[in-house]
Amino acid sequence: MLPSLTINYKCIFCDNCRLICPEGAITYDKDFYLIDTWLCSLCNICVELCPVDCIQYTTRDNSAKEREVERLLHFPISSKTPS
């Protein structure tokens, strides 16, 4: 399986990775960042630049599942408790 990168819930939205990526592979959309695995050349610049070390290597087979988990982690949690 080929390695790819994913951004986890520790992201503080500093935007550094999106601005520095030489391939334009990182986009911001609806409160979370995505890395396009087809554009990413695995140059490692964003991994080294991230101030909170939240960009991690994973396998392509797991990336879709992890993105879904991260999307859910960023989903606003209702302040109401079920009755």
Q: List interacting residues with ligand SF4 (CB under 6 A).
A: 5, 7, 11-17, 21, 23, 25-26, 33, 35, 40-46, 49-52, 54-55
Shortest distance in whole angstroms from residue 22 CB to ligand SF4:
6
Nearer to ligand SF4, 49 or 66 (CB): 49
Nearer to ligand SF4, 24 or 68 (CB): 24
Shortest distance in whole angstroms from residue 63 CB to ligand SF4:
12
Nearer to ligand SF4, 21 or 63 (CB): 21
**Residue 68, phi then psi, degrees to nearest 5:** -65, -40
Parallel, antiparallel or unpaired: strands 55-59 and 32-35:
unpaired
State the DSSP string of 40-73.
-----HHHHH-TT--EEEEEHHHHHHHHHHHHHH
Parallel, antiparallel or unpaired: strands 32-35 and 26-29:
antiparallel
